Amino acid sequence: MATLSLRPCGDFRTSYRADTKIFDTPTSRWAMVGFLCALYGLVILPQAFPPLASLPVLRLFADGYALSLGIQVCYYAIAALGLNILVGFTGQISLGHAAFFGVGAFSSAWLNTRVGLPVLVCIPLAGLMSAAAGLLFGAPAARIKGLYLAIATLAAQFIIEDLFVRMDWFTGGSSGAMADTPMLGSFAFDNDARYFLLSLSFTIVLFVMAANLMRSRDGRAFVALRDHYLSAEVMGIALTRYRVMSFGIAAFYAGIGGALYGHYLMFVSAEAFTILLSIQFLGMIIIGGLGSVMGAMLGTIFMVALPEVMGAVIAALQTTQWGNRPAVINGLPFFREMAIGAAIILFLIFEPDGLAHRWRLIKTYWKLYPFSH
């Protein structure tokens, strides 16, 4: 992957091609392919043969709730990856990512129910519509950066959020919009297992695209821009073009994620795309690792799993005598929210490079064991 990784001594790379491989070794590539095939297989098996659904491991892959968490990971990871391209790779900042996620969700619902296009066509189109909105609201990025850009994107968040409630013809106003289930011919992705496979496919394609983007000329321009914009400009990189383009790409990813979200819930409501979600996206990439494609995925898994783990802890607390007091019970709903904030702070202090960095350390440890030097 086009990021810094720890390599053992003597591992030389003699060509650019070798240096920018997505996977360092053929083993890691085949391990990933094997993992994804196994994931597909494990979800398909209980669907094809229902009696298998009660077997110990397969039970997890047949469980609607576990799958719904998987689907959440997929659509959030796609959007988080978009934000990571913008923040982690290009060094821009956005506090309005949730708004573009919402634009994607509403666009897809609108294209589907009002224009009458099939859902699978609507999803990429929604990405493009979202990208158009991203380019528009990313325009200030051509001129401003840092805190000023953060505030400009914050404004985008509020403007778009307000438009969601007012643009009745497009979003259904305060009542929200309905969205259909995706269909492929007569095959409907109408249960959690099928929808998981669909969103997983989108996720794989978009992650491979992002990894490839980072190996391309444009991707390197993004990184150059992040590392030192003045040097990048001296080298002939068109700052404005790449800054705005990065916004467009980030919004495209957010749009696809949003569209998948809308068609999964089959209902899109304006209140889902608040500043809180934007901050959660930032949390995902900070926890996962800024400037890492895999980090976006790891951070999303962490953020989706965190409320579930907290929920289990709260449920366990409520069964104890100490946790069953009214004062504690009233405070418990806030624990989940606080846990997210605490996780971000702790990661910033103790693991600023995120989970992706930790994963690389684990891999290196494994590879070099028992000689760590």
Partner 1 sequence: MKTVLSATLAGALLAMLSPFGGAQADDSVFVGHLKDVTGATGFVGKLYGEGVNDALVWINAHGGIDGTRLDFESVDYAYEVPRAIALYKKWTSQNKMVALQGWGTGDTEALISFVAKDKIPVLSGSYSGHLTDPTGKNPKTQKPAPYNFFYGPSYSDACRALVQWAEGDWKAKGKEGKPKFIHAGDNHPYPNAPKEACADFATELGFEVLPPVVVSLKPGDFKAQCLTIKQSGANYVYVANLGPSVVSLVKSCKTVGTDAQYMANIWGGDSETQKTLGADGDGYVFVAANAFWGDDAPGLALVREIAGSETPRTHHYIRGVCSTFYMKEAMEWAKAHGGLTGESIRNAMYARKDWVPKGLEGVCIPSTWTPEDHRGMTKVFIYQMQNGSEIHKIAETDLPRRDDWLGY
What backbone torsions phi and psi does residue 188 show, to the nearest 5 degrees? -100, 135
188, β-bridge pairs: 183
* Least gap, CB of 63 to partner 1 (angstroms): 5
Q: Could you tell me how far CA 90 lies from the centroid of its own chain?
A: 17
Q: Which is nearer to partner 1, 90 or 199 (CB)?
A: 199
Enumerate residues 6+ apart whose C-beta is below 8 A from 62. 46, 47, 52, 53, 193
Q: Which is nearer to partner 1, 22 or 45 (CB)?
A: 45
Q: Which is nearer to partner 1, 60 or 150 (CB)?
A: 60
* Least gap, CB of 73 to partner 1 (angstroms): 13
- The token pair at 341 is 């904030």
Indicate the residue type of 266. Answer: M
Cβ-contact 88, 293 below 8 angstroms = no
Cβ-contact 274, 161 below 8 angstroms = yes
CA–CA distance, 102 with 268 (Å, rounded to integer): 8
* Least gap, CB of 191 to partner 1 (angstroms): 8
* Least gap, CB of 44 to partner 1 (angstroms): 18
* Least gap, CB of 333 to partner 1 (angstroms): 5
* Least gap, CB of 109 to partner 1 (angstroms): 12
Q: What is the DSSP letter of 146?
A: T
Q: Which is nearer to partner 1, 198 or 224 (CB)?
A: 198
Q: Which is nearer to partner 1, 32 or 66 (CB)?
A: 66
Reported for 145-149, long-range contacts at CB under 8 A and 24+ positions apart, including other chains, are: 145/92, 145/229, 146/93, 149/92, 149/93, 149/94
Q: Which is nearer to partner 1, 205 or 361 (CB)?
A: 361
What does the binding site for partner 1 look like in residue numbers (CB under 8 A)? 56-57, 59-60, 63-66, 68, 72, 165-166, 173-176, 178, 192, 265-267, 269, 271-272, 312, 330, 333-334, 337, 369-370
